[in-house]
Amino acid sequence: MTSELIIEAVGLQKHFGATKALQGVDLAVRRGTVLGVLGPNGAGKTTAVRILSTLLTPDAGRATIAGYDVVRDAEKVRQKIGLTGQYASVDEDLTGRQNLELFGTLLELGRAGSRKRATELLEWFDLSDAANRVAKTYSGGMRRRLDLAASLVGSPDVIFLDEPTTGLDPSKREDMWDVVRQLVANGSTVLLTTQYLEEADALADEITVIDHGRVIAHDTPEGLKRVVGGLTLEVRPAEPGDLPRAAEILTKVSSGTKADEIRRGVLAVPVADDSAMTEAVSWLAAAKIPVTELSLHLPSLDEVFFTLTGPKSNTKKEEVAV
């Protein structure tokens, strides 16, 4: 049962005029898991989501949701899915409650059912106090939550989240992550697109990396990190004079790898996991080295792409330069 593919796409292609948005993309998601689709702006992530959610038809290739073809059985697919796009897709002139009740009516929950479901979702997304306010007056974070709530009205099996945290501040991002985890705990399957390896790493069971409309990697977060490099610990000592001593400690934390000064006054070492953070803090404290900055990083999207497509994009840059 766990290995059943609930989302399956094979060889998806889509052109918009001369732009090749997708050039043969395969995606597979097992029931009850999260697939992170990672890629930069314009990689084709949104196009893929729009095809899977029946908003676009592919030029070639096929895709099924719970066994239903997204083109031939679009109506069946729509009964299975919830979609939260990049742009808030709620009616700004309606209140939060009116929005949710409208979608309840459209999903045949009935008057009482719609009201009940709206109340549940408003509570879950911490919007009860704002329920009777027009969505126009909501903050960015509240709008996102209402948007996500709206896509959950019909309790869909499959949920598409297209860059759910883009533009949210870090604390709101964590809230959104918790919601995604709850959805999965409730048995839903989630396909989320993101530009952040960190987000995909935090949520996804598997990650598909796409670029220029092609899949360039598919792996578990662990597997992907093995390829692109894992965590980096960065430390900025308060006194530049402490740099050599701090470097020594960091080298110890990373069990041997020498710490590099990656920017003026900032040291970096690769580390195995986040326990290195606490270790570094206590050793630096013991050595009485005050620090102004201490952080743990996954490779940025740029670094991921550099590793995965490095040589190719280098040649491209040179061509441009010539």
Partner 1 sequence: MVSLAIAPGPRPLRLVRHSFALAKRSLIKTWRTPEALIDVTLQPVLFLVLFVYIFGGAISGNTHDYLQFLLPGILAQTIATGCISIGVNLNTDMEKGIFDRFRSLPIPRAAPLLGAVLGDIVRYVIVTAVTIGFGYILGFRVTTNFFEALAGCALAVLFALCLSWMPVFVGMKVRTPGAVQGMMFALILPLSFASSVFVSPTTLPGWMQAFVKVNPLTHLVGAMRGLFLGTPIGNHIWWTLAWCAGFVVVFMPLALRAYRKKV
Q: Which residues bind partner 1 (CB under 8 A)?
A: 16, 50, 53-56, 75-76, 78-79, 81-83, 85-94, 98, 102-103, 105-109, 113, 117, 134, 147, 150-151, 154-155, 157, 186-188
State the distance between the two ends of the chain, measured CA to CA, in whole angstroms: 55
Give the long-range contacts of residues 241-249, CB within 8 A, separation 24 or more.
Answer: 242/289, 242/290, 243/267, 245/287, 245/289, 246/284, 246/287, 246/289, 246/291, 249/280, 249/283, 249/284, 249/287, 249/289
CB 105 within 8 A of CB 114: yes
CB of 65 to partner 1, least distance (A): 11
Return the number of the residue (150 or 284) whose C-beta is nearest partner 1. Answer: 150
CB of 286 to partner 1, least distance (A): 49
Return the number of the residue (55 or 296) whose C-beta is nearest partner 1. Answer: 55
CB of 267 to partner 1, least distance (A): 45
Return the number of the residue (45 or 225) whose C-beta is nearest partner 1. Answer: 45
Return the number of the residue (76 or 172) whose C-beta is nearest partner 1. Answer: 76
Return the number of the residue (84 or 195) whose C-beta is nearest partner 1. Answer: 84
CB of 3 to partner 1, least distance (A): 20
Strand blocks (E) in 73-153: 81-84
CB of 186 to partner 1, least distance (A): 4
CB of 208 to partner 1, least distance (A): 21
262 forms bridges with which residues in the sheet? none
Rounded to the nearest 5 degrees, what angle is found at the Cα of 187, between the Cα atoms of 182 and 192? 65
CA atoms of 270 and 251, how far apart (whole Å): 9
Return the number of the residue (151 or 254) whose C-beta is nearest partner 1. Answer: 151
